[in-house]
C-alpha cells in the first residue's frame, strides 16, 4: 500500500523526520544553539522541545567546539546524538572534534567504540549573507575517511536521508542548503527511508549529463528545462550523498549521453566537481564525446554585494551557455 502524498516544506520534512525518530528511539538527543524553545534559526526543530523536553533537546551556548565534543561523547556512551552547528561555516571551530575524534574513534578502538552522531549544518549563499555565512565546503568532509556525507535537495530526501542518518552507527555529516528550507515538495505520510549511496535521476535526457547537489539540483533542473526548449535533452543526476557516492549511476548516465557537466556552488579548485570528473575520466573515458565542464562559483570570498554575488555564483544562464557550447564543440 502506497503512503498518501502531501506537499510540505523542506524544513517541515526535517522536523517530521526528527519527531518520528525521537519517538521511536528514546536514546536520541539533540544538542545545539537555539534548537530548544525557539525552534532553531531556520525552524529546523520547531515544536520538538515542547514535545520532548529539555532532557532531549538541549540549548547550548555559542561554542561549536564544546557542543560538538559533547555530542560525540554522548554518542560514544550509548546515545544517538545530533549536534546542530546551525551555520556550517562555524563548524571550523570544531574541526578537531569532527576529523580527529568522531571520524577516527571506531578505527582506533578496533571497532569496539561506535560513534552514532549526526552533525547537522546549513551551507550556502542566501540573502547576501557575506563571506562568513555562505560557505559550501561539504566536500571537505567527503575527503575524510570515517565520515558519511548527505546533502539532500528535496523535502522527500531531507526526511528520508535524515531518518537513515539517525540509524547509522558511524558519524554522518548532514548538510542542508539554507535556500531550500522553504521549498516545497511531495513527501509521503508514514515510514520511509532513503538509502545512502543511491543517486536520483531527477530528469532523464540523452544529450548531456548534469551532476549537481543541494540547491544546485534545482538550478540544474531549471537549466535543463530551458535547454529542452532548444532541443537539448539534459539528464540531471542528484547524488544525494557524496560519501558514499553512487558512481555507477553517474557512469551509466555519461555512457548514455557522452557529455558531462558538474554544477557546484563551491569553487572548482580541489572540489566535488573535480572528483566527479576524475571518476568519469578514469572509468568512463571512452564514453566521452567532449571534455567535461565544471560550472562552479568563482574562487573568491563570497561578496556581500548582491551584484557581485550574482556574478560569482552559478546561474541558470551560465549552465545553459556552458552546455550549449559543449554541444556545439
Distance CA 214, CA 180 (A): 8
Of 133, 135, 143, 177, the active-site residue reads: 133
Distance CA 211, CA 246 (A): 11
Three-state secondary structure call for residue 105: helix
How is residue 180 written as a grid cell? 531550500
| 133 tagged catalytic | yes
CA distances from residue 311 to 144, 203, 214, 266, 298 in whole angstroms, order as listed = 31, 27, 20, 14, 8
Three-state secondary structure call for residue 68: helix
Comparing C-alpha atoms, which of 264, 158, 151 is closest to residue 214?
151
Distance CA 168, CA 154 (A): 21
Element (H, E) at 8: strand 5-9
Q: Which residues are catalytic?
A: 133
Amino acid at each position: 500500500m502506497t503512503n498518501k502524498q502531501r506537499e510540505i516544506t523542506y524544513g517541515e520534512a526535517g522536523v517530521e523526520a526528527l519527531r518520528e525518530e525521537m519517538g521511536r528511539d528514546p536514546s536520541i538527543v539533540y544538542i545545539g544553539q537555539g534548537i530548544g524553545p525557539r525552534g532553531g534559526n531556520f525552524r529546523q526543530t520547531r515544536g520538538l522541545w515542547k514535545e520532548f523536553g529539555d532532557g532531549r533537546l538541549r540549548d547550548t551556548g555559542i561554542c561549536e567546539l564544546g557542543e560538538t565534543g559533547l555530542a560525540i561523547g554522548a554518542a560514544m556512551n550509548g546515545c544517538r546524538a545530533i549536534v546542530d552547528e546551525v551555520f556550517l561555516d562555524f563548524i571550523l571551530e570544531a574541526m578537531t572534534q569532527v576529523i580527529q575524534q568522531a571520524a577516527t574513534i571506531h578505527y582506533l578502538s578496533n571497532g569496539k567504540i561506535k560513534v552514532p552522531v549526526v552533525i547537522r549544518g546549513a551551507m550556502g549563499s542566501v540573502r547576501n549573507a557575506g563571506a562568513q555565512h555562505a560557505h559550501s565546503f561539504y566536500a571537505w568532509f567527503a575527503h575524510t575517511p570515517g565520515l558519511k556525507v548527505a546533502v539532500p535537495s528535496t523535502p522527500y530526501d531531507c526526511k528520508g536521508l535524515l531518518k537513515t542518518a539517525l540509524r547509522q552507527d558511524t558519524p554522518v555529516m548532514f548538510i542542508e542548503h539554507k535556500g531550500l528550507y522553504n521549498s516545497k515538495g511531495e513527501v509521503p505520510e508514514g515510514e520511509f527511508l532513503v538509502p545512502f549511496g543511491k543517486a536520483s535521476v531527477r530528469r532523464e535526457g540523452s544529450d548531456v549529463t548534469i551532476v549537481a547537489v543541494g540547491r544546485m539540483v534545482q538550478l540544474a533542473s531549471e537549466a535543463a528545462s530551458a535547454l529542452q526548449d532548444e532541443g537539448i535533452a539534459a539528464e540531471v543526476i542528484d547524488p544525494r550523498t557524496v560519501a558514499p557516492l553512487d558512481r555507477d549511476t553517474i557512469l551509466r548516465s555519461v555512457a548514455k549521453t557522452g557529455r558531462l557537466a558538474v554544477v557546484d556552488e563551491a569553487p572548482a579548485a580541489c572540489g566535488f566537481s573535480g572528483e566527479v570528473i576524475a571518476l568519469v575520466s578514469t572509468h568512463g573515458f571512452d564514453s566521452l564525446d567532449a571534455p567535461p565542464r565544471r560550472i562552479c562559483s568563482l574562487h573568491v570570498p563570497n561578496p556581500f554585494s548582491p551584484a557581485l554575488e550574482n556574478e560569482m555564483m552559478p546561474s541558470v544562464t551560465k549552465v545553459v551557455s556552458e552546455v550549449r557550447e559543449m554541444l556545439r564543440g
